[in-house]
Structure 1
Amino acid sequence: MPVQRAVHAFINERLQAKLDKAKSPQEINDLKLKYHPHEWIADAARRASQIQFATHTVKGIHPDSKGTNINAQLIKITDGLVSSADLNTHALDIVGNAAALDVYKFLSVSVDENSTILDLVLKEDSQLLSVFSESPQQAKQYLAAFKSITQSSMENAKVYELMKQLLWPVNIDAQQQDNYLNIVPLYPTSFVHQVYQNLQEIRFSDEVKLAKDARKNEKGHEVGYTIVPDIAYVKLGGTKPQNISQLNSERGGRNYLLPSLPPTNQPEDTSAWRVKPPVLESSIFDRVFNYFAKKHIKRFCQNVIDESRNNASVREKRQLIIKDILEVLMRYGEQVRGFDGGWSKHGGLKASQAFWLDPKRADIDAEWAELRETSDWKMELAHDFGVWLNHRLNDAYRDNKYIHLADTEQKEWKYDMADLIKQSIREGWGIFE
């Protein structure tokens, strides 16, 4: 019988781990008695009350809290807010005595491809009775004990002095009438775990690693990857995250925090720009573009170079600001490219930049169009961008002998620009065609 095989395999595996460490025949005999399936299940059923499944926990609020954990039956409300109820599935957490977690592992054992022992317990499947005990009455008691792990009640819910408690006024005269609603927030552990898994997938999945390797090697990638800036995490439980909960332990105690701030990286408002063809310039990076990008250069200095640390958060900020600078460059280029073709004939603008900013000239100048087609102007443009950015950043620190960006950084900015050009061509933006 599949159920019996699954149960016995789990218990025997635990028994064998103990036998491998046994030092005497007496100890071996005692272990065999203790891990006889019916004896072990009876003991597990007695210890089942020491743990509980939960979607919302108290120790996530404070590690020494002793209030009531809740396995909530959630109903989705269309109110425009994101909550635990929006999850399609909930990873139920386990709280309680860490010494009783083997009971949880037992209930998590797969019986077949579609069900675990816990699934059968919740269905009160009759297959379990003979496996649990030779006595049908005793077996039903064990089944009820295991099933109780998933149940919680608000009738006798308890709070604790270390838990947060918010007094919400019920009416205008709440203070005089001492009329408040006591709100006790619990830690949404199932929701937190889903957010953690989603962010891990976005940041560190195998597909993301392949995309990052492709970028490093200057190759394309059909999907690409996303940078999520300004992520932090709070670590719960210290060196013993298991003391908080099972899911917290699986995350190594890490619980991601996203910024609760108004967005600062809004698209640049270009409606007020007074853009005209750079006829009098030899390079747009000499003077023109410095004006449009100056606030992002300042951001780069403050948030990246002035930051003493070089951690993942700072590196993500760097990428975000570079992205913003390139966004401004594209918007500038988009406006200049909208002018009538041929204006670049009357000035001394560098050829690679003229090829980019005056594409309509190709319609009226066949010789120029052929030069544009055969020239590697896109990579020259990326090179110019890298040189310009490095110069601007070094110029900002010209009085600081300890800060100097060299060829390595210059190449990095060049590759950022080159990647943007490749992406625009791949996705048909038209800005670098």
Structure 2
Amino acid sequence: MTDSPPDPQDVAALRGLVDGFIQERFQLKLEKLKGDDDEVQAQRLSLQQAHVRETWLADAAKRVPQIQLASHTLKPIHPDARGTNLYVDQPVCTDANVIGTHTLQGQRADDVVGNAAALDVFKFLKLQHNGQGLLARLSRKDGATLQALSSDAQEATQWAQAFAGIVDGKGGAASHTLAKQLYFPLPDDGYHLLAPLFPTALVHGVHTHLQEARFSDAAKAARASRRAKEPHEHGYCDYPGMAVRNMGGSKPQNISQLNSERGGANYLLASVPPVWKDQGTQPPLRVTSVFDKRGVIGRDRTVYLIAKALRPFLESVAAVGNNVHIRDKRAELVQAIIDRVLDMATELQCLNGGWSADPACKLSWSQKQWLDGDALEAAQAAHETQAVAMSAAEGAFAAPEATEWRDKVAEDFARWLNATLSTDKIRMGDADFVEWKHTFLEVLP
């Protein structure tokens, strides 16, 4: 703490920042309470009391041990693993030729793991004032920040110590039976036993870069100029052959905060040797659906072989009934089909954007949005070009709008899978349709 007294204006600004955050949390919870009966009124009063600054801060300080700031985490290795997560603030490696967390520099975003119900404490500590976060201020016991928390210096100091503890590890260093471990040979006899952790801060930095390269306005404008064969002030980057690993299912926040911000998506860059003579993935033209027999997915050999194995299995157990072994085997084969479908979808998504505007592309609008990241821009450009050629009497084209395509694509998948698996002996019905749709929706990015 500095010897000079804090600036009163600085204290007032910080207190306003804290009070504003707490009131915002209060209003969000208050909006969920409907009605005016006695029970609801009591709940409103309880919420109001819980969101008094001193009360909320005291409760938040008690909840800090439930979460931990982290740069390298364990759960992405296995969701049920329990062990050490690390927060590495200072770079261990400084070699600019090696890609690592140290290369993020000022663009680094730290992660937080633990009880998802306590993530509001982390959001509180991320609040910024004059370019500095509350966590950094509290860690160095900044006088203005302490006074903003409480007029009681001892109470404010105790809260600051509790909040600063978010960077501390929980318990001693420990691995887990579900964590990955590997023996690394030493120059002399013996080995080091290594327990790799997931570089969550680096992964999020890569994800941010890829999203910018694929979907930013600047990148879309550069691609549009390329399609129009016009010059542009800068280029753009393509990352073909990417895959997406989804973590956390319908609850990505259970893995970590940054994983939740990404919707569970974690990009995997292709690390395979190039095939120079291969023409690569071609846009699905002249078919009304990628699931048609002539479509990319409908005619895929791998999908055909998995379905060929699944059909006789379903026929063989039709008279047996249902048990956990049958459900697990069926889910395993269906998941294999979904994995292959997503692989092919990713290949199409990595094509040069705008291919769906080709007049030969007969896909539904929902499938175009799914498979072509520039579908909307390309369609609007095509409509504008056609509208210019039309006379006023003919009327103007209505440019397509971005729509929620996920439900429709999942329905297309479920309908196709029902038709693919149905035989003379077994018929897939509405219950199967709902199950396939729900399962597919969970993994759509």
Provide Cα deviations, 1:28-80, integer angstroms capped at 9, x if missing partner: 22222111100000000000111111110001111111111101132334384
Is 1:136 aligned to 2:153, yes or no? yes
Contact kept? 1:38, 1:131, Cα under 8 Å: no
| Counterpart-to-counterpart distance in 1, 2:200 and 2:117 | 21
Tell me the residue number matched to 2:120: 102
Tell me the residue number matched to 2:109: 91
Tell me the residue number matched to 1:121: 138
Alpha-carbon offset, residue 20 of structure 1: 3.2
Is 1:45 aligned to 2:61, yes or no? yes
For structure 2, the residue ranges without an aligned partner over 5 or more in a row are: 1-11, 285-293, 298-343, 354-445
Contact kept? 2:139, 2:161, Cα under 8 Å: no
For structure 1, the residue ranges without an aligned partner over 5 or more in a row are: 174-178, 266-294, 320-433
Secondary structure, aligned partner of 1:12: helix
Between structure 1 and structure 2, the one with the greater Rg is: 1
Q: Which runs of structure 2 are paired with 1:293-304 in the superposition (5 Å)?
A: 295=277, 299-300=278-279
Alpha-carbon offset, residue 256 of structure 1: 0.8
Alpha-carbon offset, residue 200 of structure 1: 1.1
Secondary structure, aligned partner of 1:167: strand
Quick one: structure 1 residues 79 and 106, their matched pair in 2 at CA, closer, same or farther if it must change by over 3 Å?
closer
Quick one: structure 1 residues 301 and 75, their matched pair in 2 at CA, closer, same or farther if it must change by over 3 Å?
closer
Is 1:6 aligned to 2:8, yes or no? no
| Counterpart-to-counterpart distance in 2, 1:128 and 1:312 | 48
Quick one: structure 1 residues 314 and 248, their matched pair in 2 at CA, closer, same or farther if it must change by over 3 Å?
same
User: Which residue of 50, 57, 64 corresponds with 2:73?
Assistant: 57
TM-score (normalizing by structure 1) = 0.59
Is 1:181 aligned to 2:192, yes or no? yes
Tell me the residue number matched to 2:45: 29
| Counterpart-to-counterpart distance in 1, 2:267 and 2:246 | 9
Is 1:200 aligned to 2:211, yes or no? yes
Q: Which runs of structure 2 are paired with 1:337-348 in the superposition (5 Å)?
A: none
Secondary structure, aligned partner of 1:87: helix
Q: Could you tell which deviates more after superposition, 27-36 or 215-224?
A: 215-224
How many positions carry a matched residue from both structures?
282
Quick one: structure 1 residues 261 and 11, their matched pair in 2 at CA, closer, same or farther if it must change by over 3 Å?
same
Alpha-carbon offset, residue 313 of structure 1: 1.8
Q: Could you tell which deviates more after superposition, 133-142 or 27-36?
A: 133-142
| Counterpart-to-counterpart distance in 2, 1:48 and 1:214 | 50
Secondary structure, aligned partner of 1:52: strand
| Counterpart-to-counterpart distance in 2, 1:79 and 1:264 | 30
Q: Which runs of structure 2 are paired with 1:313-328 in the superposition (5 Å)?
A: 313-314=347-348, 316=350
Secondary structure, aligned partner of 2:43: helix
Secondary structure, aligned partner of 1:157: coil
Provide Cα deviations, 1:196-217, integer angstroms capped at 9, x if missing partner: 1111111111011112233444
Contact kept? 1:170, 1:181, Cα under 8 Å: yes
| Counterpart-to-counterpart distance in 2, 1:313 and 1:198 | 19
Tell me the residue number matched to 1:406: none
Quick one: structure 1 residues 28 and 302, their matched pair in 2 at CA, closer, same or farther if it must change by over 3 Å?
closer
| Counterpart-to-counterpart distance in 2, 1:232 and 1:318 | 16
Runs of 4+ displaced beyond 6 Å? 301-307
| Counterpart-to-counterpart distance in 1, 2:352 and 2:257 | 36
| Counterpart-to-counterpart distance in 2, 1:17 and 1:146 | 23
Provide Cα deviations, 1:281-300, integer angstroms capped at 9, x if missing partner: xxxxxxxxxxxxxx4xxx22
Contact kept? 1:300, 1:318, Cα under 8 Å: no
Provide Cα deviations, 1:210-243, integer angstroms capped at 9, x if missing partner: 1223344454323232222111111111111111
Secondary structure, aligned partner of 1:229: coil
TM-score (normalizing by structure 2) = 0.58
Provide Cα deviations, 1:343-382, integer angstroms capped at 9, x if missing partner: xxxxxxxxxxxxxxxxxxxxxxxxxxxxxxxxxxxxxxxx
Contact kept? 1:196, 1:255, Cα under 8 Å: yes
Alpha-carbon offset, residue 14 of structure 1: 1.4
| Counterpart-to-counterpart distance in 1, 2:77 and 2:252 | 13
Tell me the residue number matched to 2:360: none
Contact kept? 1:95, 1:246, Cα under 8 Å: yes
Quick one: structure 1 residues 79 and 209, their matched pair in 2 at CA, closer, same or farther if it must change by over 3 Å?
closer
Tell me the residue number matched to 1:148: 165
Alpha-carbon offset, residue 102 of structure 1: 0.5
User: Which residue of 211, 214, 232 corresponds with 2:243?
Assistant: 232
Quick one: structure 1 residues 79 and 15, their matched pair in 2 at CA, closer, same or farther if it must change by over 3 Å?
closer
Secondary structure, aligned partner of 1:66: coil
Provide Cα deviations, 1:147-200, integer angstroms capped at 9, x if missing partner: 0112348x9211111100102233665xxxxx4321000000011111111111
Tell me the residue number matched to 1:75: 92
| Counterpart-to-counterpart distance in 2, 1:33 and 1:318 | 56
| Counterpart-to-counterpart distance in 2, 1:184 and 1:259 | 24
Alpha-carbon offset, residue 312 of structure 1: 4.8
Q: How much is the aligned-residue C-alpha RMSD, in angstroms?
A: 2.8
Provide Cα deviations, 1:387-424, integer angstroms capped at 9, x if missing partner: xxxxxxxxxxxxxxxxxxxxxxxxxxxxxxxxxxxxxx
Quick one: structure 1 residues 215 and 232, their matched pair in 2 at CA, closer, same or farther if it must change by over 3 Å?
same
